[in-house]
Amino acid sequence: MAKGVATPPEVIEKIKLCRAVGMSLSETAKFVGGIPDNTVFTVMKRILSDPEQAKEFEELKARKKKELQEEANKEFNETMKESFESLFNRSVKVIHRAIDEDKLSPRDAVAVMGTTFDKRQVLTGGKTANIGVSYDEVLQAINKGDEY
């Protein structure tokens, strides 16, 4: 901005958004439209020196960080889920072939599949353990002689 000319509100908003998502002063200046780095610095200095505006900016930063993380996690999870499903299906075929050729015992195959299933559950947000029975309930059943 020219010296002595007020920065338009829409430019200030763009600057805040760019800085909130972690862009540097120079990246922000270029992105906003080729304004001087010093304009970005001055705008941010004014924002951060006002407690109310600083609080709003920190909230914006936290919101943008959360949005970016959620988007990245969503993309990662979708990619990993597709890749894992493909790998899981291939693993099943390899395990069956290894059992058929007596290169893998059924016991080892169960261990491999159990581990693979647990990894799939972790990737898809599922449970990896049955936690429906408490430790106390198990102890009570053992002390009564009940089979569990």
Residues 68 and 102 occupy one common structural domain: yes
- Tell me, what's the pLDDT at 148? 43
Q: Distance between CA atoms of 52 and 62, rounded to whole angstroms? A: 15
Contacts of 7 (CB under 8 A, 6+ apart): 1, 15, 39, 42, 43
User: Could you report the per-residue pLDDT of 2-33, keeping only the tens digit for each?
Assistant: 566 788 889 999 999 989 988 898 999 999 98
User: Could you report the per-residue pLDDT of 84-96, keeping only the tens digit for each?
Assistant: 778 778 877 887 8
User: Does a structural domain hold residue 105?
Assistant: yes
Residues 45 and 67 occupy one common structural domain: no
User: Does a structural domain hold residue 33?
Assistant: yes
Structure tokens at 52: 């109310």
User: Could you report the per-residue pLDDT of 129-146, keeping only the tens digit for each?
Assistant: 766 656 566 666 666 655
Residues 28 and 69 occupy one common structural domain: no
Residues 64 and 33 occupy one common structural domain: no
Contacts of 37 (CB under 8 A, 6+ apart): 25, 26, 29
Q: Are 43 and 35 in contact (CB under 8 A)?
A: no
Q: Are 124 and 82 in contact (CB under 8 A)?
A: no
Residues 99 and 62 occupy one common structural domain: yes
Percent of the chain with pLDDT over 90: 28
Residues 45 and 99 occupy one common structural domain: no
For range 106-111, the mean pLDDT: 80
Residues 34 and 82 occupy one common structural domain: no
The CA–CA distances, whole Å, from 101 to 88, 97, 98, 106 equal 20, 6, 5, 12
Residues 33 and 64 occupy one common structural domain: no
Q: In the chain, how many domains are there?
A: 2
Q: Which domain holds residue 39?
A: 9-49
